[in-house]
Every structure is written in C-alpha cells, then in structure tokens.
Amino acid sequence: MSSLTKNTLAGLREILTRGDASSVEITQDYLAEISARRDLNTFITVTQDDALVSAKVADQIRAAGQASLTTGLPIAHKDLFCTKGILTSCGSKMLSNFISPYDAEVVSKCKNAGFVMLGKLNMDEFAMGSSNETSYFGPVKNPWSPTHVPGGSSGGSAAAVAARLTPLATATDTGGSIRQPAAFTGTSGLKPTYGRVSRFGMIAFASSLDQGGLIAQTAEDLAIGMQIISGHDNKDSTSALIEVPNYESLLNDSIRGLTIGLPEEFFDSRLDTRMQSQIEEVIRIFTSLGANTVSVSLTHVAEAIPAYYVIAPAEASSNLSRFDGVRFGYRAEKPIDLTDLYECSRGEGFGSEVKRRILIGTYALSEGYFDAYYKKAQQIRRLIKQDFDRAFSLCDLLLSPTTPSTAFALGEKSDDPVAMYLEDIYTIATNLAGLPGGSFQAGLIDGLPAGYQLTGPAFSEAKILNAAHKVQQVTDWHTHYPEEIRNV
C-alpha cells in the first residue's frame, strides 16, 4: 500500500498544504490501489482519466495560490448520485446504460470545492439491501474478511474507505445504510438530519427517509466533508433553510457534562454479548472524559421495523414506477405490445429484492389496505418521533450499538429477507424520526469491526462529531485497517 493512501483526509490536506506531494501524485496512488483491489468489487466505474485531469487542474490552482482547503483531495461517490456524462447505475440493470445529463447537488458542491472524483461506488440495487449483495454488478466484499459482507446499501462506499481506496465517500441512509456498513467495515459514517443535505440528483428510494451523508476514517474527516455538502438547496423542497455550523471548529469542544442516554430497548437479548462488552467499553471512555449517562426508554422502537417496511416499500413503489422501459433505462427487446414492453422491461430490469419491495409497497397503498397498513405505519412513526423527543429532554445524545453483531457471511441471509431486515434493528428508528446519527469504531471482535451509534436531536451533527472525535483522540480503533491490506 502507498504511504499516501494510508492517510486520513485531514492528513492528505496537510500534505498538500505543505507541498509534500501533489494532487496528481495522490490521485495516481489511489488509482493504483483501486486497480490492485478489484477483487473487493467496490467500484462500478473508475473515472481514471477525468480524475487525473481534475488533479492536474487542482495542482495548477494551488500553484497560483487560489486553492481552498479541499482543493485536490480525492473522493468517490455512491452510484446513485447523478454525475454528468458518467454512468449512474444505482446498482441496477435498469440503469446500466444511464448517462446522467446533470450533476447531483452533492456532486456539484464537491466539484466546486475542488475534490477529485475517483469514480462511482457499488451499492445494493436502488439502495435496497443490508449486505450489498443485491447489486446487478455483483456483491462487494468486506476488506476485513472477503467471505463477509460489508453491509448495505452503501457497502461500496464503506469497503472502499476501509480498504484505503478513497479517503472520503458519499453515501446514503434510508434505514441504516451509512451506519451499518460503517460498523461492519471499521469506518466512521454520518447520516445527517433529514433536510441537512440536498437530495437533488440523488435517485430516490423512499423520499421521506432518504438522506445523503458520508463515510470516512474519522469524525474529523466527516466534519471536513460535511462542511462542503451541507446547506439549503432551492432545487430540493425538503432542504432545510438552517445555517450550517463550522463543524471542524467545533470538534474540540469539551464534552464534560454531556449527558448520554442509553436506550434500554437496545441492550436486550438480541445484542451479542461480545458486542455489548465493546459498547460498555465505549461508555466507560465517555464517562472518563466527563460525560454522564442516564437510562432512557424508546417505548415504540420495537415497531420501527414493521413501520419502516410498510412506508419505505410504499414510497419505493411510487418512485420506481417511472422506470417503465419507455423514457429511459433498460428496455426489453422485441415486445409484443405496450403492456408487454412494461412487464418485460421491469421484470428483466429489476432484481428480486426491488421487485419484492415494489409488490409490498403497491399492496400497502392499494384500495382497502391503505388505512390498515400505510396510515397505521405513519401513526407509529409519529409515536417513535415523540419517544425521541422525550428522551432528548433527559439527555444530549443517545448511545447504542449500531448492529447486533459483526458482519455476517456472504450468502448467510440471502434466502431469508426477514433476517436481513432485522440487521437494521438499531438504526431504522432514527430515519423514521428524521434525526442525525453516526456510527464510529468500537474495536474488533474476532478480527471483525464493531461499531457504536450516536443519535442526536435534529441538526446536532456537530455535537455527534465532537463526541466521536473525543473518543477517537484517546483510542486507536479508527487507525486499524485490515490485515489483507497490510500484506498487499
């Protein structure tokens, strides 16, 4: 492995500022690592030529004394963020030939900030999955153990960061798709408050739940990236018109006196005993730094998964109706008539998990079932939000495990959708309430990473990053990387 690619995003920024390496040199090293680790299947598209051109321009800007703090730094984008002139597949056969005519707002902001795009990252098809096994382009492998999943749906983003193929990756989280992969791969991931980051140009799964965010090695790196991608966007009606704080400047605030709530529902028999021990160590570190803990209850969190798996498929059913073989995307060959065109294009273009969720969602929205399912799920969603409101009247942040256990084996849960859905048991409620949540490293269990989750009130991303940064300053969990990489 190149010595350059071992650095964090913040470390690379210092290297560029000091002039110890150029953006072209850094980009070349990352492209070489990406080529060497094709076995992990983290990238769908590698934009090598474009990346080198962008890096050369970044070096020229830096030489002219006009560089910003992020000019010339590498990034890779989850393949559901539209990128002008570049394949945006959403991990699906349906969009395997879609060249976007415009950039997503997140991509545009990163370009304007001088980031160099290395490519587009693999993902579960249309972000539907918890293992990154539903991608049309094949499963992503966990760098810590290639026989294990990296989590999903942002598994490509998490695995690429863990393997040091990019220092920063965009990702999305609808029910845990940033935090769960971050936990499985020993990385740091942040799902911002709903509305903090523009969804314009982000291909929709469930519009009231989807939120763009980031995966990186450290909370500090997330703060650097969040400063760029956050903020109001007139092109997104759900974008929040709320001032963006200076995340990086708030990293070193004291957490002495911070009250951390421990949701009793997240520390039950479903939690692996070894995972519980790791989380207890995290709690001990927080208390040693001056934080206080208090037990809280999220009474309706048990209903989060059934509510989510009505709401999310219902919204997916509506959003994915546009993919019909007529306007864009995959089109079946030689249809008999228009109906056959629709049926064959969707039947051949969508994978089994996407079809499953479309069917569930269509059923939940159908006449005679809407009130019994969709409306009831929305009522439960309101109760879950009220539970969080009550909890945050007693504490500043909530701390819990991110996942019940470490990464599971490839294929282990592929034939059991319910078991797969239960992997998001600790993350889904945060999305239903529209709150920010982050997953951060909590050491290793039998050589596989563990993660802890911090959840905060709306727009408390800075407080979450500050707390995680304090832990990372007194631990070395975030510095570990897979043995396979050490031997490359």
Candidate list 22, 130, 135, 153, residue with the active-site label? 153
User: What is the maximum alpha-carbon separation in the chain?
Assistant: 70
The CA distance from 422 to 407, in Å, is: 13
The CA distance from 10 to 22, in Å, is: 15
CA distances for 365 relative to 360, 373, 378, angstroms: 9, 8, 12
State the Rg of the chain over Cα.
21
The CA distance from 458 to 43, in Å, is: 32
CA distances for 31 relative to 21, 43, 64, 340, 457, angstroms: 15, 11, 26, 43, 39
Within 8 A by CB and 6+ apart from 427, the residues are: 173, 175, 176, 179, 180, 402, 403, 437, 453
Note if 78 is an active site residue: yes
With contact defined as beta carbons under 8 Å apart, do 168 and 61 qualify? no
Note if 277 is an active site residue: no
Task: Please state the φ and ψ torsions of residue 76, each to the nearest 5 degrees.
Answer: -135, 150
The CA distance from 305 to 429, in Å, is: 8
**Enclosing H/E stretch for 75:** strand 74-78
Task: Please state the φ and ψ torsions of residue 351, each to the nearest 5 degrees.
Answer: -85, 175
Cα 109 to chain centroid, rounded: 18
The CA distance from 110 to 77, in Å, is: 10
Candidate list 23, 54, 78, 89, residue with the active-site label? 78
With contact defined as beta carbons under 8 Å apart, do 241 and 232 qualify? yes
Q: SS3 of 108, please?
A: helix
The CA distance from 183 to 96, in Å, is: 29
Which of 68, 20, 47 is CA-nearest to residue 166?
A: 47
Note if 153 is an active site residue: yes
With contact defined as beta carbons under 8 Å apart, do 169 and 162 qualify? no
Candidate list 135, 145, 177, 239, residue with the active-site label? 177
Kindly state the tokens that stand for 341: 């065109």
The CA distance from 473 to 225, in Å, is: 19
Query: Could you give the residue numbers annotated as active site?
Result: 78, 153, 177
